[in-house]
């Protein structure tokens, strides 16, 4: 008797499940939407090598005579510091970002046009290593940065000029001495 329809009425939200083709179509539509969302945030370098804190920071000993205080850290990797940054008094500064390791511009490659342009960095959006590295503005391989693409002359569908665009760093900046990135389109 399983072929006969049941006499109890089905609730409204279960009516579409009785037909297997509708259920399959709904399921595939949901999967397609998820894939589109994932593709929107797909990056050229999905996996990067982890960096230990011992490699990222060097301990700076301070103190008048005994040099016992070891709570200061100097960052050994390249960093981005915004234009409005002012240092705290040296005595209270916990993380020191050396001037020689600060970068303001990046060589950004447009993947579709095949053009590489030297563009100013606006900010560091996400460092995959650690949220603290994002806050400190550390530039490592795989880091997502925002660059000023107004020089490229990119225009949106409505005709507005695109100003800031995200890019992912594709090289080890501390070894190369420059920041190379791929524009995320």
125 found inside a domain: yes
Q: How confident is the model at residue 114 (pLDDT cuts 50, 70, 90)?
A: very high
Q: In terms of Cα–Cα distance, which of 98, 164, 161 is closest to 125?
A: 164
Q: Give me the residue label for tokens 């050994």.
A: 76
pLDDT band, very low/low/confident/very high, at 11 (cuts 50, 70, 90): confident
Domain with 125 in it: 53-183
Q: Among residues 90, 177, 94, 181, which one has the least CA distance to residue 132?
A: 94
Assign 14 to helix, strand or coil.
helix
Per-residue pLDDT band at 29 (split at 50, 70, 90):
confident
- Is residue 34 one of the residues assigned to a domain? no
Q: Express as a percent the part of the chain with pLDDT over 70.
A: 90
Helices (H), the chain: 20-40, 53-56, 131-136, 173-176
Decide if pLDDT at 38 tops 80: no
Q: pLDDT tens for residues 155-176?
A: 888 888 889 999 999 999 999 9
In a domain, 72, yes or no: yes
Question: pLDDT tens digits for 45-104?
Answer: 778 888 888 999 999 998 888 888 899 999 999 999 999 999 899 889 999 999 999 999
Query: What is the β-pairing status of strands 95-96 and 69-75?
Result: parallel
Q: Is the pLDDT of residue 4 over 90?
A: no
Residue 59 lies in a domain: yes
Residue 130 lies in a domain: yes
Structure tokens at 134: 């994002």
Q: How confident is the model at residue 110 (pLDDT cuts 50, 70, 90)?
A: very high
Question: What pLDDT sits at residue 3?
Answer: 58
In the predicted model, what is the mean pLDDT of residues 107-131?
93
As a whole number of angstroms, the distance between CA 174 and CA 20 comes to: 57
Domain assignment of residue 103, yes or no = yes
Kindly state whether residue 9 falls inside one of the protein's structural domains: no
- Regarding predicted confidence, which is higher, 10 or 155? 155
CATH number of the domain residue 91 falls in: 3.10.290.70
Q: Which residue has the higher pLDDT, 10 or 29?
A: 29
- Number of domains forming the structure of the chain: 1
> Does some domain include residue 65?
yes
């Amino acid at each position: 008797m399983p072929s006969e329809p049941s006499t109890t009425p089905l609730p409204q939200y279960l009516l579409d499940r009785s037909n297997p083709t509708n259920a399959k179509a709904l399921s595939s539509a949901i999967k397609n939407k998820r894939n589109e969302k994932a593709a929107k945030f797909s990056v050229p370098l999905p996996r990067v090598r982890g960096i230990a804190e011992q490699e990222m920071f060097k301990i700076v000993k301070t103190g008048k005579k005994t040099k016992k205080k070891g709570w200061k850290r100097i960052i050994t990797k390249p960093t981005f510091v915004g234009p409005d940054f002012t240092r705290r008094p040296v005595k209270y500064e916990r993380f020191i970002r050396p001037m020689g390791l600060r970068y303001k511009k990046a060589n950004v490659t447009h993947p579709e046009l095949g053009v590489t342009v030297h563009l100013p960095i606006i900010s560091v959006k996400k460092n995959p290593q650690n949220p603290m590295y994002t806050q400190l503005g550390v530039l490592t391989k795989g880091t997502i940065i925002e660059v000023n693409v107004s020089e490229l002359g990119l225009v949106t569908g409505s005709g507005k000029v695109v100003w800031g665009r995200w890019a992912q760093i594709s090289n080890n900046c501390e070894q190369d001495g420059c920041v190379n990135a791929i524009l995320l389109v």
